[in-house]
Chain A
Amino acid sequence: MANQSILTVNQVSKVFSLSRKKQLQAVKELSFSIRKGETFGLVGESGCGKSTIGRLILGLYTPTSGTIRYRDQDIHQLKGKKQQHFRQKVQMVFQDPYASLNPRMTVMDIVAEGMEIHQLASGKQKREMVYQRLEQVGLQSDHASRFPHEFSGGQRQRIGIARALAVEPEFIVADEPISALDVSIQAQVVNLLRKLQQEQDLTYLFIAHDLSMVKYISDRVGVMYLGRLVELAASDELYRRPLHPYTQALLSSIPVPDPRQARQPKRVLLSGEVPNPIDPPSGCPFRTRCPHAMKICAEVDPTEIEDTPNHWVACHLYT
């Protein structure tokens, strides 16, 4: 069971039509799979399609092409009972703890909602379970009668986690769960997620733009750029030996708490902005900012190759 993949994303693309002529390719031919019990980190700049892939996996969006399979079932073909089962087993933790909780519902109602929908418990039992979940995420049971606006960002995020946990999920998509929080609170939430993973045998897709946190929590990391996966490797491997120039740039942007080391001219600085995804560059999407851009980069879109076992990269430098 240990190495069996629980979720497989296969050649998934998502195109949003903005108007008759303008189309935004949020995700392009993305493929990866997530093994049961692991934490898969997904990093990239804002607007690179990280959140889109998260929502595709939850079935909130339908892919333009490609399939997403959860436990060998295409999640976008699910109907009726099977779909409800999927909606129970796959949950999401949202980015903005201020927008992800209904301001007119008490914490009790928020956490209990999933239990009601899936008829897991009712009455006194339901209340007990809500208290239990709240304590599990480090809140107190007397918080249940409060409204979201009475809590701090970190507490709200933990309410969001309790809501996801309430339906006993197997797989959680955490869409930048810590980026809206204070640094001191970030560690708290990440540690909570790790603790819960061990307790309940959860599988995570952890979406973030903060590489240092992703390194801390993830087993494997995928790096996205303009809707594509440019590099995919085990977390340690990726940090020790980043192959793609974009990954190198990202890694060198992590602040180093040592001035002597930070002063060394090893930093890879990127110039320019992310190209507009409505009008992406030809060939390799990164070539406009890549320090190693070659002639072939403008012509041919690089395919993913396995440089060393389990270390995939999509770059012409390695073909």
Chain B
Amino acid sequence: MEKESFQPIQRNFLSYQRLERKQVGFWQDAWYRFRSNKGALLGAIFIICIMFFAFFGSSFSQYDYYSQNLLEVDQGDSAQHYFGTDSLGRDLWARTWYGAKISLLIAFLAVALDVLIGVTFGGISGYFGGRVDDTMQRVIEILYSIPNLIVIILMLMWLEPGIIPIAVALSITGWVPMARIVRAQVLKLKSQEFVLAARSLGASHRRIFIRHLLPNTVGPIIISVSFSIPSAIFFEAFLSFIGLGLRPPQASLGVLVNEGYRYLQLYPHQLLWPALLISLIMLGFNLMGDGLRDALDPKMKR
């Protein structure tokens, strides 16, 4: 190599400061990681499909979920009734998707309440610390030590079963893990220097919580949500199965499983479809939750 083949490049201070890398925000980065996880993507597609059918599935069929037709009871799959009919001649396609919609609504509502209570409670507990934290943690421990099934059963005996009462009953104890996650995050974050910087700038508690602590807690919250939704659906199905859920002709997946299982030996398809749907929803959310955890909290893995 000749010395002359090298040319010095002029470089000034400002060009040295230039960022060449394409701008990638936190969510773009998370999406990139999520996308590369095949299982998670599959789970997300499952959930999107199920939600699509849950909200629009009834328009693919001429039947509704409550009309009885005693001339067409306990039919198998056909071009008329895609999933067959139940013992009162109601179309199972319509009932299954309607049930899925109700189950999802209950789960979303319950988890939304969990987030609302959990973030507030956990946030206050972690942020103020000290005696406030001690007291609030004892409340959580007391609540956590009561078997939640008993609380929920009592709640549902007191309230009329319906979408909102079931969601409320589920979130009465369901917010505790969320509060713990948020508290742990806030405890970790509040002593970090960027929070001290905000305090020394004179930021109010509200501002610090909303602008600094909460955005850094969103990842774990979303992860927790993606695991609480399937467990809420499962719990709702369980409640309906033991007869504490919605009353017919209202349907949820649990109600349908409960009705189908009585005729299991004669007409197994009446159990098959709602049970399959519950399984797919659970699987979908769990796969997606795994992917979200890797995508939003990359430090946990690798």
A residues near B (Cβ < 8 Å) are: 55, 58-60, 83-84, 87-88, 90-92, 94-96, 99-105, 109, 113-114, 117-118, 138-140, 143, 145-147, 150-151, 155, 160, 163, 167
Q: B196–A113 contact, CB under 8 A? A: no
Q: In the bound complex, do residue A117 and residue B207 qualify as a contact, i.e. CB atoms below 8 Å apart? A: yes
Q: How large is the interface on B (under 10, 10 to 19, 20 to 34, 35 or more residues)?
A: 20 to 34
Q: List 10 A-B contacts (CB under 8 A).
A: A55-B196, A59-B200, A87-B200, A92-B197, A94-B196, A99-B194, A113-B201, A117-B207, A163-B201, A167-B201
Q: Ordered nearest first, which 10 A-B pairs have the shortest CB separation?
A: A87-B202, A100-B193, A104-B215, A99-B193, A114-B201, A94-B193, A102-B194, A58-B200, A92-B200, A84-B202
The reply to whether A91 and B201 contact each other, CB–CB distance below 8 Å, is yes
List of B residues within 8 angstroms of A114 by Cβ: 201-202
**Cross-chain contact A163 with B197 (CB below 8 angstroms):** yes
How far, in angstroms, from A88 to B194 measured CA to CA in the complex? 16
Nearest chain A CB to B24 CB, angstrom units: 8
How far apart sit A149 and B26, CA to CA, in the bound complex (Å)? 10
How does the 8 Å CB contact mask read for B246-286 relative to A, with 1 for contact and 0 for none? 00000000000000000000000000000000000000000
Does B198 sit at the interface, judged by CB under 8 A? yes
Return chain B residues, CB-CB under 8 Å to A117: 201-203, 207
User: What 17 additional pairs, Cβ within 8 angstroms, besides A60-B200, A94-B193, A100-B196?
Assistant: A83-B202, A87-B201, A87-B202, A88-B202, A91-B201, A94-B196, A99-B193, A100-B192, A103-B216, A114-B201, A114-B202, A117-B207, A146-B19, A150-B24, A151-B19, A155-B17, A160-B197
Smallest beta-carbon distance B191→chain A, Å? 10
Across the interface, do B26 and A138 meet the contact criterion of CB distance under 8 Å?
A: no
Whether the Cβ atoms of B18 and A100 lie closer than 8 Å is: no
How far is the CB of B181 from the nearest CB of chain A, in Å? 17
- Among A90, A102, A114, max chain B CB count under 10 A is at A102
Contact A100 B194 (CB under 8 A): yes
| Assembled-state Cα–Cα distance A151/B192 (Å) | 19
Q: Give the A-B contact count at a CB cut-off of 8 A.
A: 85
- With both chains docked as a complex, state the minimum distance between the C-beta of A251 and any C-beta of chain B, in angstroms: 30
- Chain B interface (Cβ < 8 Å from any Cβ of A): 13-14, 17-19, 21, 23-26, 192-194, 196-203, 207, 211-212, 215-216, 218
User: In the complex the two chains form, what is the Cα distance from A49 to B86 in whole Å?
Assistant: 76
Contact of A60 among B18, B19, B196, B215 (CB under 8 A): B196
Tell me the bound Cα distance from A214 to B215 in angstroms.
37
Is B203 in contact with A113, judged by CB distance below 8 angstroms?
yes
Nearest B-chain residue to A106, judged by Cβ: B25
B212 touches A102 (CB 8 A): yes
Is B17 a contact of A140 with CB atoms below 8 Å?
Answer: yes
List residues of chain A with CB within 8 A of the CB of B24.
150
| Residues in chain B near residue A101, CB distance under 8 A | 194, 197
Q: In the complex the two chains form, what is the Cα distance from A104 to B189 in whole Å? A: 12
The CA of A167 and the CA of B196, in the complex, are separated in Å by 16
Q: Which A residue sits closest to B197, measured CB to CB?
A: A100
Which residues of the other chain, A, contact B26 by a CB distance below 8 angstroms? 103-104, 147
